[in-house]
Amino acid sequence: MTKNELLFSSISDIGSLYRSGSISPVEIARLTVEEIEVLNPKLNAFITVTVESALESARRAESELRAGKDRGVLHGIPVALKDLVETAGIRTTAGSRILANNIPNRDAEVVRRLKEAGAVIVGKTNMQEFGYGPPHPDFGSTRNPWDTSRTASGSSGGSAAATAAGLCYAAVGTDAGGSIRIPAAYCGVAGLKPTSGLVSLKGIIPLTWSLDTVGPMARTSEDAGLLLGILAEGQPPLKPIPLKGLRLGVLTEQINVPGMQSDVVDAFDRACTCLSKEGAIIEHVSIPELNVIDGAIMSIIAPEASLVHYQWIKERPGDYAPLTRQQIELGFAIPSVVYLRMQQFRHHLAVRFMEILRQTDAILSPTAPWGPTYEDTWFARAEGTTDGREVPLDCLTSPYNLVGMPALSIPCGTNSEGLPIGLQIATRPGSDSLALSIGAAFEGLAAMSHVAHGSHAISKAGL
């Protein structure tokens, strides 16, 4: 197999090669860290690359597998971690000067699980500052492997770019409003925001205690499911799911978003048509309250984040990127009654979503209203409006953080510039495996019908 064939193989295929003796974990680890050395200067996907510890883990995995000790699907597989996941003895910066020299003395619970599963951790990925502000100037922006003049978005942009470019087989991200799914959509990979509370937040540097989630990013839904099975207990394996008779809801409010690009709508329509031809029942549904959701999530994130940063913003305000500092300071100005009303709204919205999910199996939408941009822009002015309204990039993803539902982004095509577009699949709380199974079914259809672009990012960009 060629280098690219190995780097872009599935987790299961690499595992099979290990167990047949065709290739070793050490060979794959070396290939991966060599590729990081070549491509990371162009992508800026990693803040810290853990070459020595990765090779040591790979040697241990190789020795164990030869001795018949098999730790499972991730044994010897290179994985990356967003740099707000604490790693004992390894710098964990959260993309900020505030924690530039922070070396934790413990592993996050998800890291403990990955090590127990024999995964090879190759490094800590770049991110927007604390998952909240823009990229800090000390660390810079992560570039998109499909077009390095574009952003990978955030805040889990480094994890998405590394996965898309073949620098790891899967990565851990976090998501409080879309920070796994939007970079996944921009970089053409799969990214799951799990059911709230499914994956432990122990050892994750927080943004907001009531919205933070930790989840998997991989090149396919199947591989994301394998990673989720390690990160969370009791997750059933993905099973093939028949699309015939599956009831899929399309929320009117998530299609008629001001400023949504026509390429995104066209790709979404093609995806729905593809599913419909396989017997899925596409139903248009409505939650009118979604039209006023734009400010809801920030009315929760802002005060919670400001409280998290209370001490640092008093003692070291100049160490934040200016916009991050401004956002933290503004959070203190949000009245408590607004925060509490938004918490009430969350409850109301959850009831409305569950009403929809009593008549559908899943809800579909685009992941992001527009494709990869040149800068890390979180808002766009809605065309065709007279009130100067700006639409947030997370307008399609944040509702699922508010209500705690699992939501998956997978590629569903490309825009006129050849850049990825994401399809979002959301299901009932606790049914993460259903979202992933639907994602895997669509990926299988797309591969046969060419609904989604078949080449990977490295060949597209010519990195």
CB 425 within 8 A of CB 190: no
DSSP string, 181-212: HHHHHHHT-EEEEPSTTSS--TTBPPS-TTT-
Active site residue 69: no
* Domains with residue ranges and CATH for the chain: 3-231 (3.90.1300.10), 247-461 (3.90.1300.10)
Strands 214-218, 170-174: pairing is antiparallel
Active site residue 82: yes
What's the pLDDT at 450?
Answer: 54
Neighbours of 216 (CB within 10 A): 34
What's the pLDDT at 446?
Answer: 85
Neighbours of 415 (CB within 10 A): 17
Local mean pLDDT, 10-residue blocks, the chain (463 residues):
96 98 98 98 98 98 98 98 98 98 98 98 98 96 98 97 98 97 98 98 97 98 98 87 97 89 96 97 95 82 97 98 96 96 95 97 97 83 56 93 98 97 98 97 83 52 59
Active site residue 196: no
The total number of residues written for the chain in this structure: 463
In this structure, is the dihedral angle defined by the CA atoms of residues 352, 354, 358 and 359, taken in order, positive or negative? positive
> Phi then psi for 48, rounded to 5 degrees?
-135, 130
Report pTM: 0.96
What's the pLDDT at 108?
Answer: 98
Contacts of residue 303, Cβ cutoff 8 Å, sequence gap at least 6: 331, 332, 334, 336, 339
- 9, 96, 153, 179: which one is catalytic? 179
Tell the residue number behind the tokens 């992560």, with chain if given.
142
Beta bridge partners of 283: 249
What's the pLDDT at 390?
Answer: 76
- 9, 57, 82, 196: which one is catalytic? 82
What's the pLDDT at 335?
Answer: 96
- 9, 57, 153, 155: which one is catalytic? 155
